[in-house]
Amino acid sequence: MSQKTINIGTAVGDTSATDLRTGGDNINKNFSELYLQRGRTLDLNSFVVSDTADLYAHNSQILINRLTDKTVLIVMYLSDKSSRAEWQTTQKAVLKVYELTTKTLLKSFDIFYRGLSAGLTMPNELFDAPRMYISGTNLMCVCCMPSGIYLRTIDMTNTDPSTWTAGNITTLQMTMKNSSGVDTLSDCVAANFKTHLEYVLGDTNDAYNNLDPCFRNLDRITVIGSTWYSILELTGQLHSGAYNIPVLIKSTNSGVAWQFVSLIGYTTSARNRTFEASVVAIGTDLHVIGRTITTSIAHFVSTDSGATWSAVSSLSIGDYGVLSAKPTAINYYKSDSTTKDVLLAVSLTSELTENTYRTTLGLFTTSDFVSFVEVAKIVTNSYVHYPSLCQFSRMLYLSYTKGMKFLNDTPSSGSDRDTIAVTRVY
């Protein structure tokens, strides 16, 4: 909320001043805002996990895992070091392991980069949004390139992370439709995505060519019963294509294997673009939110385990002035440890009058996507976006991209997205 001022008029007794009732209401609102600030995180207790040499550090993700004798914070992010441009030939995915309470760095990997040879050789291609998830005692690390999704596994059985090593690179496979409509275990490559889409949608379209995969929503995988749900986004952004098709995928064996379930909000009659999507559960219903090309957040609901989807009105959080930039949502356990609700991180209209870009990130809880309770707010003097949420032992952690350097040393010009920060919200 912006500050509510009281107009005192231009002279004693004139009629231009704010009336008494409105003035009293403004005073109450200002005090309410001050009291609310007590529970907000204002980028003061965050710590930086990216290297000082990172001229771009973005698309972070965090996981927390308890080992036998310690609890570790695992951070992955995309690093571009050769210039300020986001896509550079030296880009790499960095994975770091910290002891959670002391923030001591235990291990650092350059987990993916072009030309890396480990069983397979990584192709000379751009990549985006490296992701990870935990399956049993294995940390599954994925890299999404135009040629496909690549996987490296780290065995976490040894409780000393300094001894961990990354396994060979393999091409990730998922079950999807072949040209005859038969569910087939297939490599996650553009040609197979195209075949699946053509069969499911019953048509051909330029949108299905050369789609790059992006494995989304692995912050906290949504679980209903024994089934895991996540999002695979098929996008043309690395080829400058204007296509974003979110696919619900599921696993019935704790992330060992995945299969396509359905397309979310994309049909031949409405080729809607929804990207950077998250899936969460409310009871047995699945909800998906995602960014759109307009200033709104798409919202879809499925009541049949993701088989079909209904579009809901664009997400609105009261008077907060929500932006469409990179929202994320996860399920979390409430204080009773048995009931799940939804945590949402979303960009809000900037609260800084001198900087109008993405300086403000709001964190909210909801149990219905209708009413929202503010948990915290991150406000920086530069960017704060690409949020990743992680709840562990009733504690909430957040990682995000921010900027430490202004472009051309001019604050009004914006700032580089050059830093990954992690903070404990509560």
For residue 266, the domain's CATH number is 2.120.10.10
Q: Which of 294, 324, 354 is the last residue of a domain?
A: 324
Average pLDDT over residues 302-328: 88
- 204-262 pLDDT, tens digit per residue, is 988 888 888 888 888 889 999 999 999 999 987 665 565 789 999 999 999 999 999 99
How much is the pLDDT for 340? Answer: 86
Please check whether residue 95 is in contact with residue 136, taking contact to mean a CB–CB distance below 8 angstroms.
no
> Does the residue 115 lie in any domain?
yes
Check whether residue 161 and residue 307 sit in a common domain: yes
- Which distant-in-sequence residues (6+ apart) come within 8 Å of 133 by Cβ? 63, 139, 140, 218, 221, 255
Residue 107 has pLDDT above 90, yes or no: yes
- 15-61 pLDDT, tens digit per residue, is 667 777 876 777 776 655 554 444 455 677 789 999 877 778 888 99
**Structural domain harbouring 316:** 51-324
User: Predicted confidence band at 74 (pLDDT cuts at 50, 70, 90)?
Assistant: very high
> 38-47, 98-107, 147-156, 307-316: which has the minimum mean pLDDT?
38-47
Check whether residue 72 and residue 6 sit in a common domain: no
How much is the pLDDT for 358? Answer: 82
User: Predicted confidence band at 294 (pLDDT cuts at 50, 70, 90)?
Assistant: confident
> Does the residue 386 lie in any domain?
no
> Does the residue 301 lie in any domain?
yes
Burial of 396 by CB count in 10 Å (0-12 exposed, 13-18 middle, 19+ buried)?
buried
Check whether residue 13 and residue 74 sit in a common domain: no
- 118-171 pLDDT, tens digit per residue, is 999 999 888 888 999 999 999 999 999 888 999 999 999 999 999 999 999 999
Residue 394 has pLDDT above 90, yes or no: no
Check whether residue 11 and residue 101 sit in a common domain: no
The 10 Å CB-count burial string (b at 16+, else e) for 237-275 is: bbeeeebbbbbbbbbeebbeebebbbbbbbeeeeebbbb
DSSP string, 185-228: EEESSHHHHHHHHHHHHSS--GGGTTPEEEEE--SS-EEETTEE
Check whether residue 4 and residue 100 sit in a common domain: no
Check whether residue 182 and residue 34 sit in a common domain: no
> Does the residue 343 lie in any domain?
no
Average pLDDT over residues 354-368: 86
- Size of the chain, expressed as the number of residues it contains: 426
> 173-182, 280-289, 334-343: which has the minimum mean pLDDT?
334-343
Please tell me the pTM assigned to this model: 0.86
> Does the residue 423 lie in any domain?
no
DSSP string, 13-58: T-S-SPPHHHHHHHHHHHHHHHHHHTT---SSS-EE-S-TT-SEEE
How many domains, in total, are found in the chain?
Answer: 2
Check whether residue 31 and residue 55 sit in a common domain: no
Check whether residue 11 and residue 117 sit in a common domain: no
How much is the pLDDT for 244? Answer: 87
Q: Which of 306, 324, 342 is the last residue of a domain?
A: 324
- 223-237 pLDDT, tens digit per residue, is 999 999 999 999 876
Please check whether residue 305 is in contact with residue 286, taking contact to mean a CB–CB distance below 8 angstroms.
yes
Q: Could you give the percent of the chain with pLDDT greater than 70?
A: 86
Check whether residue 10 and residue 55 sit in a common domain: no
Check whether residue 20 and residue 76 sit in a common domain: no
How much is the pLDDT for 143? Answer: 94
Check whether residue 19 and residue 67 sit in a common domain: no
Residue 426 has pLDDT above 90, yes or no: no
* Higher per-residue pLDDT: 415 or 58: 58
Average pLDDT over residues 343-348: 92
Q: Could you give the percent of the chain with pLDDT greater than 90?
A: 53
Q: How far is CA 88 from CA 127, 245, 413, 416, in A?
A: 10, 25, 22, 15
Check whether residue 56 and residue 6 sit in a common domain: no
Q: What is the spatial distance between Cα 291 and Cα 324, in angstroms, rounded to a whole number?
A: 5
Q: Which of 300, 324, 348 is the last residue of a domain?
A: 324
User: Residue 10 is encoded by which pair of tokens?
Assistant: 């231009």
User: Residue 26 is encoded by which pair of tokens?
Assistant: 């403004």
Mean pLDDT of the chain: 86
Residue with tokens 């472009």: 407
